[in-house]
Structure 1
Amino acid sequence: MTYRTVKLLADAATPEELFQGQWQSRRTKLDDFKPYLNERWAEGYTNAWTLWEEIKAHNYTGGYGAVRAYLRPFRTTGTAPAARPPSPRTVAGWILTHPDTLPENDRLKLKSVLAGCPELEALTGHVRAFGKMLTQLKGDQLPQWIKAVRADDLPSLHTFANGLGRDLAAVTAGLTLPWSSGVVEGHVNRIKMIKRQMYGRAGFSLLRKRVLLA
Structure 2
Amino acid sequence: MAVSERTVRRFVQQLKENNKPVARPPVLKPREVTTVLLTRPDNRDEADRTLLKELRDRSEDLDAACTLISRFAEILTHLRGQERLEQWVKDAEASSLPELRGLATGLRKDWNAVLAGLSTHWNSGPVEGHVNRIKMLRRQMFGRAKPDLLRKRVLLAT
TM-score range, shorter chain: 0.7 to 0.9
Q: Which of 170, 185, 198 is matched with 2:113 structurally? A: 170
In 1, the alpha carbon distance for the partners of 2:29 and 2:96 equals 23
**Map of 1:176-191 to 2, 5 A cutoff?**
176-191=119-134
Larger displacement relative to structure 2 (106-115 or 196-205):
196-205
Q: Paired residue for 1:151? A: 94
Determine helix, strand or coil for the equivalent of 2:116. helix
Q: Which amino acid in 2 is paired with 1:89?
A: R
Q: Paired residue for 2:142? A: 199
Shift of 1:152: 0.9
Q: Which amino acid in 1 is paired with 2:148?
A: S
Which structure 1 residue ranges, 4+ long, deviate > 6 Å from structure 2?
none
Instruction: Please give the per-residue CA displacement for 1:125-144, whole angstroms capped at 9, x wherever unaligned.
Output: 11111110011010121111
**TM (normalized to structure 2)?**
0.79
Q: Does 1:122 align with 2:101?
A: no
Shift of 1:213: 2.7
In 1, the alpha carbon distance for the partners of 2:142 and 2:53 equals 49
* Largest Rg, 1 or 2: 2
In 1, the alpha carbon distance for the partners of 2:143 and 2:77 equals 39
Q: Paired residue for 2:47? A: 105
In 2, the alpha carbon distance for the partners of 1:137 and 1:80 equals 48
**Map of 1:1-214 to 2, 5 A cutoff?**
81-140=23-82, 141-211=84-154, 212-213=156-157
Q: Paired residue for 1:56? A: none
Q: Percent identity?
A: 45
Q: CA RMSD in A?
A: 2.1
**TM (normalized to structure 1)?**
0.60
Q: Which amino acid in 2 is paired with 1:187?
A: H
Instruction: Please give the per-residue CA displacement for 1:43-65, whole angstroms capped at 9, x wherever unaligned.
Output: xxxxxxxxxxxxxxxxxxxxxxx
Q: Which amino acid in 1 is paired with 2:76?
A: L
Q: Which amino acid in 2 is paired with 1:98?
A: R
- Unmatched segments (≥5 aa) in structure 1: 1-75
Shift of 1:105: 0.8
- Unmatched segments (≥5 aa) in structure 2: 1-17
Shift of 1:159: 1.1
In 2, the alpha carbon distance for the partners of 1:160 and 1:107 equals 26
Aligned residues between the structures:
139
Which structure has more helix as a fraction of its residues?
2
Shift of 1:171: 0.6
Compared CA separation, residues 202 and 134, structure 1 to 2 (3 A): same
Q: Paired residue for 1:23? A: none
In 1, the alpha carbon distance for the partners of 2:114 and 2:143 equals 36
